[in-house]
Amino acid sequence: MESILKVNNLHVHYVTDDEVVKAVNGISFELMKGESIGLVGETGAGKTTTALSIMQLIPDPPGIITEGEIIFEGKNMIFNTEKENQKIRGNGISMIFQDPMTALNPIMTIGDQLTEVVLQHKKCSKSEAEKQVKELLETVGVKSDRFNDYPHQFSGGMKQRVVITMALLCNPDLLIADEPTTALDVTIQAQVLEIIMQLQKKFNMSLILITHDLGVVAETCDRVAIVYAGEIVEIGTVEQVYLNTKHPYTKGLFDSIPKIDEDTEKLIPIEGQMPNMAKLPSGCYFHPRCKYCQEICKKEAPPVRGENGHTYRCHFDLFHEGKEK
Amino acid sequence: MNDAKTLLEVRNLKKYFAVPNGYLHAVDDVSFTIKEGETLGIVGESGCGKSTLGRVILRLHEPTDGKIIYNNMDITEFDKEEMRKMRQHMQIVFQDPYASLNPRFTIAQIIEEPLKLHNIYKTEAERRKRVEELMDLVGLAKRMYNMYPHEFDGGRRQRVVIARALSINPKFVVCDEPVSALDVSVQAQILNLMMDLQEKLGLTYIFISHDLSVIKHISDNIGVMYLGQMIEKAPKQDIFKNPLHPYTVALLSAIPSTNVREKKKKIILKGEISSPINPKEGCRFSPRCPFACDICHQKTPVLQEVQPNHFVACHRYQEMMENKLHF
């Protein structure tokens, strides 16, 4: 398989007058053509910052990519000119944002907004562009007679379909979906995920799905990366990570969600809170919340261990097939 | 628990909101009972009327019609003063812990406010003791006594909200999506806290959520709402093992599961929830229901007990029970 995106040791800081917030601290992963990966983590873990870095859309100031490489189709996005990156955005990489309610311009009809995207990136006539837009709208399940409607006339699920259409109009090779279904109800979420998966197959797109929902990842992605305090603490195929969990944080996440197909008497929460990203703890970033914390965890950053593409950052090898050793 | 007495009964409760082109039927003819010490989970999608139901029960919205009987008293007849006294027994916890705390009050001021309003303690010292007791109960350290809400994260704020709701010893608490704004690891902390408190203080909960896994975890009985109506109500095992309403079946199948060993078959419903403004006669789910037939479009089904404690509002429940309808 051909590699489409390679993120190498990415570090992103947000610098303010009083402090430096270290949002991303050395994230590395590779994505193949047609493959999908889920980035899972809690609020403030650095998932969205990673996505924005890939798009080269980090607000600067205060954001700075201090270290690392983002290689998309062989070229390092960080050293590209703004003009080159503008071409890649939309054509090469597209992004769907979390909130469909704010991603659309309220005073333009959705037809005009979508046609504008095509005209911006492709050389074609307006009527051709409109034809393309209507075709793709039908594919995602919006009837083309809604072409002249305004965003407020759509429900949340329908708006998210319009946003998906917008992201896919220029046939991107990579789609980044940032919590695309978090604002939607479960039955609508199922519809929208189904559409994203179908289109991904149809156009052989690669997909980065950002979410906090482990269930959504299990049903849509090939691989999964668990993000904590700006680091990937565990990465592997969905089967590897879900069935043979290795990192105590990943284990903690699984234990703290109520499961729909099992009866659990008591949930086991992860004690404490996410660290302040401006004052990261020493050693392993997870050690203040970790049940298995030892002296070494407080002093030294853990090495990356593991095999067969399933790696994790921990000093110890604690679990076997999801159970304590 | 079966011999526990009924604490709350809701009879044919309706709440219509006047909107420019008619009436929005937010809660439409809902009836149920809750026994003392029980948790009733109310689940449904946005706009189904679950939050309105919670508020109408506390008369934070005036019901359009119907009766709310709490502890054998018809509270729909109460005047303002009687209702104010009644609220000592009935409290609510809201969804957004960022919006429900006054940013200018310290944590202690927030928690003691209901105590002052209801004049429960005479002296400052007594109140202080009670506040400290409550902070301890919900797991907040004493040093936080004089801190402000902005210094707290979502999980701790929700603990403050819970402490405030419990300060005047209510028997009955409506919890309106209390964990939806929280991350999963913190969500588990709050869910455990609420279950511990229920056991310790003998509370009765109505727990409103859109998240079926949370509802399943905390509830004894579950009511499923769709467009203002309760379409199925049963003990939780029955809802999950033996759902009888097509909407419940679809809703359950739509929950993303973390079980990667067996992928379950998903039922993807066509269309979306229809408008609650001036709804037509007939089953409200019928436009999305794959089994809808003529009668479903003409007559609204009533909620009836089809198995012990298992209520469903569907014309074709008989066939559902016999497993004759397949998606």
The pLDDT tens digits for A101-157 are 788 999 999 999 999 989 988 888 999 999 999 988 888 888 888 899 999 888 877
Nearest Cα of chain A lies from the Cα of B212 at a distance, in angstroms, of 7
* CB within 8 Å of B9: residues ≥ 6 apart: B32, B33, B34, B67, B68, B69
Per-residue HEC secondary structure of A265-287 comes to CCCCCCCCCCCCCCCCCCCCCCH
How confident is the prediction for chain A on average, in pLDDT? Answer: 89
Residue type at A307 in one-letter notation: E
Q: Which residues in chain B are contacts of A42 at CB distance < 8 A?
A: 183-185
ipTM over 0.85: no
* pLDDT at B296 exceeding the cut of 50: yes
Higher per-residue pLDDT: A197 or A184? A197
Q: What pLDDT does B1 receive?
A: 47
Residues 158-177 of A with CB under 8 A from B: 158
Per-residue HEC secondary structure of A81-128 comes to CHHHHHHHHHHCEEEECCCCCCCCCCCCCHHHHHHHHHHHHCCCCHHH
Q: Any CB–CB contact under 8 A between B255 and chain A? A: yes
Residue A290 in tokens:
């970790």
CA distance A94 to B268: 26
CA distance B314 to B327: 16
Nearest Cα of chain A lies from the Cα of B276 at a distance, in angstroms, of 14
CA distance B117 to B168: 10
* Contact predicate B147/B106, CB 8 Å: yes
Helix axes A110-121, A156-168, angle to 10 degrees: 20
Are the Cβ atoms of B258 and A155 closer than 8 angstroms?
no
Residues 210-269 of A with CB under 8 A from B: 212-216, 218-219, 238-239, 242-243, 252-261, 264, 266-269
pLDDT-based confidence at residue B3 (cuts at 50, 70, 90):
low
Radius of gyration, CA atoms only, chain A: 21
Are the Cβ atoms of A157 and B272 closer than 8 angstroms?
yes
pLDDT-based confidence at residue A273 (cuts at 50, 70, 90):
confident
Strand order in the sheet with A63-72: A20-32, A3-15, A63-72, A75-76
Q: Phi/psi of residue B66, each to 5°?
A: 105, 175
* CB within 8 Å of B260: residues ≥ 6 apart: A218, A238, A239, A242, A243
Are the Cβ atoms of B255 and A186 closer than 8 angstroms?
yes
Higher per-residue pLDDT: B49 or A184? B49
Residue with tokens 């309003």: B117
Q: Which of B184, B251, B260 sits opposite A238 (nearest CB)?
A: B260
How confident is the prediction for chain B on average, in pLDDT? Answer: 90
* pLDDT at A295 exceeding the cut of 70: yes
Q: What pLDDT does A274 receive?
A: 83
* Contact predicate B27/B10, CB 8 Å: no
Q: Percent of chain B, pLDDT > 90?
A: 66
Q: Which residues in chain A are contacts of B269 at CB distance < 8 A?
A: 187, 190-191
Mutation to test the B interface, candidates A43, A185, A255, A321, most B Cβ within 10 Å? A185
Q: What is the pTM of this model?
A: 0.85
Mean pLDDT value across residues B113-122:
89
Q: What pLDDT does B70 receive?
A: 94
Q: Any CB–CB contact under 8 A between A74 and chain B? A: no
Please provide the size of chain A in residues.
325
Q: Any CB–CB contact under 8 A between A189 and chain B? A: yes
A258 preceded by cis ω (within 30°)?
no
